[in-house]
Amino acid sequence: METSRKLGPIRVLEKCQRRNKRLLKALEVNELISSELQLGPLLKLIMEVTQKVMEAEACSLFLLDAETGDLVFQVALGESGEKLRELYRVPKGTGIAGWAAEHVQPVLQNDVYSDERFNPDYDKQTGFCTRNMACVPVCYGEECIGVCQVINRIDGDFNEDDVHLLETLSKMAAVAIENARVHQCLLEQSLLERDLELAHQLQQSFLPASPPAVEGYDCAFINRSAFEVGGDLYDAFLLPDGRVAYFLGDVSGKGVAAALIMSRVLKDLRFEAVAGGNAGDMLNRFNAGFCETVSKGMFVTMTLLILEPGSGRVEIANAGHLPPVYLQDGKVRSGLEASGPPVGILGMADYSCDSIQLQPGETVLMYTDGITEAKSPQGKLLGEDGMMALLNKAPQGAGNCIDFLCRGVKRFADGMRQSDDITLLALHRE
């Protein structure tokens, strides 16, 4: 009888020692997984230490698919682990794991085949025999982000202490997983910002820093992208016959794809312009080649001016772009109408060529819709009328005109974020 009485306290002491040992191991696990910020290696590490601490034959981790609610296998260790990974996902609410995620409650089951929630298909497909299971939701705060389960306790059945320990491990795992996800997001954001900055630098390198000097004429341009990479483009260059080409356009879409198309446009348009002809001929050749080689759905609106410096004659061909504005004696005299569809729409488009005689003191201004679509804090658009009202007050000179217009747009927007690229090109005869 005395010996029997002594065995009780000894067993209690052994149990406490075993529990303390496992808790100390859990603290070591926490330190270990907290040091890993790569999500893939972290998930594998969590499962390896969980299987070891829980003394289980198999261990698996599912993460919740936020869109479908399914549980997706991330790591499966132990016998049949690789086969389990091939099964990939557990539909929402099915199986013991699905029930634990849906109800955000742990499950302790030492006779899984007596539990109607248990799905035996996995055992049938893998040849594995599941006897018992402890399964707990992995929660970050109040949100369930997955499920962790251990299968087949090596020395018998799972108990409530096992469940509590697994819950402790899952809480540690949840924090580590979220930290790794945040770290991954920051890395991706940093890489994206770097790529966009490089794309911006590359795009700006395509654009001319200054127009060619032409005696008796003043040219100025400005380009302000709404985002890192814009779709507006411009160019100014001398032709072999002494004429000067001025070009402004807007590529459909935004971002890196638009920047790549932009580089193609600038190169090919220079090639066609050097081949000669009037402004309409140049656009016709360029459009034919663009339609043949560029993906459907991509198009460019553009205006091309060809100046004969000696006479002041300016040829104008327009491909679906906003018509250039003609200013005489500091006042808006006309908006020169478009002459064809955007480049890339119709391979057989026939672009006509208009001309004006630019007299001393007169200016031709080309612009993109970032100007007219500037928005006030009250949600009002500047519009064409607002732009014309500003131009009627603009001083003479290409640079002066552009600076005045940009300041007026800035006052109108009154701190509102620029929603579209703003590009201006002005040609003034002195």
Residue 339 CB burial class (10 angstroms; 0-12, 13-18, ≥19) = buried
Shared domain check, 174 and 62: yes
Owning domain of residue 154: 10-183
Which one, of 138, 137, 134, 136, lies nearest residue 175 by Cα? 138
Beta strands in 1-70 (DSSP E): 56-64
- CATH number of 151's domain: 3.30.450.40
* SS3 category, 325: strand
Residues with Cβ < 8 Å from 430, sequence gap 6 or more?
216, 217, 218, 360, 361
* SS3 category, 284: helix
Q: Is-contact 59 151, C-beta < 8 A?
A: yes
Residue 283 lies in a domain: yes
Q: How do residues 299-318 score in pLDDT, each as one tens digit?
A: 999 999 999 999 999 999 99
Q: Which of 148, 183, 218 is the last residue of a domain?
A: 183
Shared domain check, 367 and 248: yes
What tokens appear for 164 in the block?
A: 């509590």
Confidence (pLDDT) at 4 = 43
Q: How do residues 255-292 score in pLDDT, each as one tens digit?
A: 666 777 888 888 899 999 999 999 999 999 999 999 98
What tokens appear for 91 in the block?
A: 């539909």
Residue 149 CB burial class (10 angstroms; 0-12, 13-18, ≥19) = buried
Confidence (pLDDT) at 127 = 82
Confidence (pLDDT) at 50 = 83
Q: How do residues 67-121 score in pLDDT, each as one tens digit?
A: 888 888 776 555 444 444 445 678 878 899 999 999 999 999 999 999 999 988 8
Shared domain check, 210 and 176: no
Shared domain check, 116 and 228: no
What tokens appear for 65 in the block?
A: 């698919």
Confidence (pLDDT) at 86 = 44
Residues with Cβ < 8 Å from 277, sequence gap 6 or more?
285
Shared domain check, 280 and 230: yes
* SS3 category, 286: helix
Confidence (pLDDT) at 269 = 93
Confidence (pLDDT) at 420 = 81
pLDDT < 70 regions, the chain: 1-39, 75-88, 192, 195-196, 198-200, 202-203, 227-229, 253-257, 330, 334-338
